[in-house]
Structure 1
Amino acid sequence: MNPKIIAFDADDTLWHNESYFRETEKKFYALLEGYLPEHSLSKELFRIEMQNLELYGYGIKAFTLSMIESAMQISNNTISLEDIQKIISYGKELLQMPVELIDDAESVLKVLYGKYRLVLATKGDLLDQHRKLTKSGLGKYFHHIEIMSEKKEENYEHLLKRLDIAAEEFVMIGNSLKSDVLPVLEMGGTAFHVPYHVTWAHEHVDRKIEHNNFHSLEKITDLLVHFS
């Protein structure tokens, strides 16, 4: 490898995120436990989220709207305004959660900073991702910030055009095989997978990845073996 750019995903790669969503889902299931068992509530919420993805995109605001819609459908529109307000408050709580860095994430950025051009390449709600980046204190390490509406091959290709580099000069680090690894490999880049202990169902990949440009790490500090 002779990369010009090393790009990092944000949520669940540099800081914790999905675990906060899981905690909120538990509150949502408890609120609606009188209608359906938890596994059925989970399936219905996920169905609505996928149905709304093209309209709302990713992030807490989209998640909150999907919780409200799910509650209305599950209750056959009998859910109280008080409970709707509780769901809105769950979303607001998520938007105000502290940003907790993944262990050693900043130390890895410190080592690589100055040796490579570092890029933050994430997806989600623009305002919320900027909020988390500001609270994280990590913005100073990045040459470029890219907040995408989606992470598909064409989105990465647009990023490479803006950075004026070839695919073989691009390395992506992230926790999602679906969003951070497969599209990058498909366009000819290199990808490192750093797993997180919780993965959203939408990001699951149920096949083994075998590719010369694919690397699987146990933790983010293992990256430094490849980039000293």
Structure 2
Amino acid sequence: MGNNVTIIGFDADDTLWHNERFFRLTQDRFTALLADHAAPDDLARRLLDAERRNLGHYGYGIKGFVLSMIETAIEVTDGRVPAGVIAELMAAGREMLAHPIELLPDARAAVEAAAQTHRVVLITKGDLLDQERKLAQSGLGELFHGVEIVSEKTPAVYRRIFERHGDGADRAMMVGNSMRSDVVPSIEAGGWGVHVPHDLVWEIERAATPAHSPRFREIEGLAQLPELIAEIG
């Protein structure tokens, strides 16, 4: 094991398996249902505003998304949204919660390779039951030395996790697609932050790239992770 990094954290959604694209498909359905009441851009803005407002109440995940869609539908129809529309939105949420997991390219190989030389921990946020379901379906669960499902990813959270499972944040690396949740707070905690870009990024997960940090790295895909781990140590 290298003298530098001894523990590697992996994000789950849109790092190891697809997630955001199912939200986008449901949002398209939401837009079609309310097409007579608001233009697509206006509806998207209102929904995003509702999601931001509701994060502190519902947290991250599908259930909060569905409640935010319902709230927005009530708002744009001045309280006259048909019950059938609400029923369709709830059905869409149930479909999302039942959707099979689809691993991203090289996800299993990357975790397997990392686990051969380092302690690996899954660090994800969102609804507990849904995240547990996705991990179980992914078939990756047995590869991790630990699993942490948290309500928010902050520097303090990363410090606690890396202390609990490893040798502290200064000897830790976090791998993920979200600059805001995976990369920046890990670096601020004292660890490495490795960005694996994904084509679809939820607006709330955007943040400035910490390009000047010596502990920031970006790779095109998970196939490049083993080489980066070997380079860093």
- Check whether TM > 0.5: yes
Tell me how large the CA RMSD over aligned residues is. 1.2
Letter in 1 for 2:56: E
Deviation per CA, 1:141-185: give whole Å up to 9, x if none: 000000110011111122123225221111100000110011111
1:57 to 56, 59, 79: 59
Please give the alpha-carbon distance, in whole angstroms, between the structure 1 residues aligned to 2:109 and 2:216. 23
Could you say which residue in structure 2 is the equivalent of 1:125? 127
Letter in 1 for 2:221: K
Could you say which residue in structure 2 is the equivalent of 1:192? 194
2:150 to 144, 148, 151: 148
Matches within 5 A, 1:1-228: 2-207=4-209, 209-228=211-230
CA contact (8 A) 2:6 2:166 kept: no
Percent identity between the aligned chains? 42
- SS of the equivalent of 1:120 reads strand
Letter in 1 for 2:95: E
Segments of structure 1 that go 5 or more residues without pairing to the other structure are none
Letter in 2 for 1:79: V
Instruction: Report runs of 4+ in structure 1 exceeding 6 Å deviation.
Output: none
Kindly state the Cα deviation for residue 226 of structure 1 after the two structures are TM-superposed: 2.0
Kindly state the Cα deviation for residue 207 of structure 1 after the two structures are TM-superposed: 4.8
Please give the alpha-carbon distance, in whole angstroms, between the structure 2 residues aligned to 1:128 and 1:166. 29
Kindly state the Cα deviation for residue 204 of structure 1 after the two structures are TM-superposed: 1.1
Please give the alpha-carbon distance, in whole angstroms, between the structure 2 residues aligned to 1:50 and 1:110. 36
Please give the alpha-carbon distance, in whole angstroms, between the structure 1 residues aligned to 2:191 and 2:208. 21
Please give the alpha-carbon distance, in whole angstroms, between the structure 2 residues aligned to 1:208 and 1:190. 11
Segments of structure 2 that go 5 or more residues without pairing to the other structure are none
Please give the alpha-carbon distance, in whole angstroms, between the structure 1 residues aligned to 2:214 and 2:136. 36
Kindly state the Cα deviation for residue 209 of structure 1 after the two structures are TM-superposed: 2.4
Please give the alpha-carbon distance, in whole angstroms, between the structure 1 residues aligned to 2:223 and 2:161. 26
Please give the alpha-carbon distance, in whole angstroms, between the structure 2 residues aligned to 1:144 and 1:164. 10
Please give the alpha-carbon distance, in whole angstroms, between the structure 2 residues aligned to 1:207 and 1:145. 27
Kindly state the Cα deviation for residue 208 of structure 1 after the two structures are TM-superposed: 5.4
Kindly state the Cα deviation for residue 206 of structure 1 after the two structures are TM-superposed: 4.0
Normalising by structure 1, we get a TM-score of: 0.97
Deviation per CA, 1:94-131: give whole Å up to 9, x if none: 00111000011101122222311110001111100000
Count of residues in Structure 1 that have an aligned counterpart in Structure 2: 228
Deviation per CA, 1:65-99: give whole Å up to 9, x if none: 11111101111110111111001001001001110
Letter in 2 for 1:119: V
Letter in 2 for 1:33: A
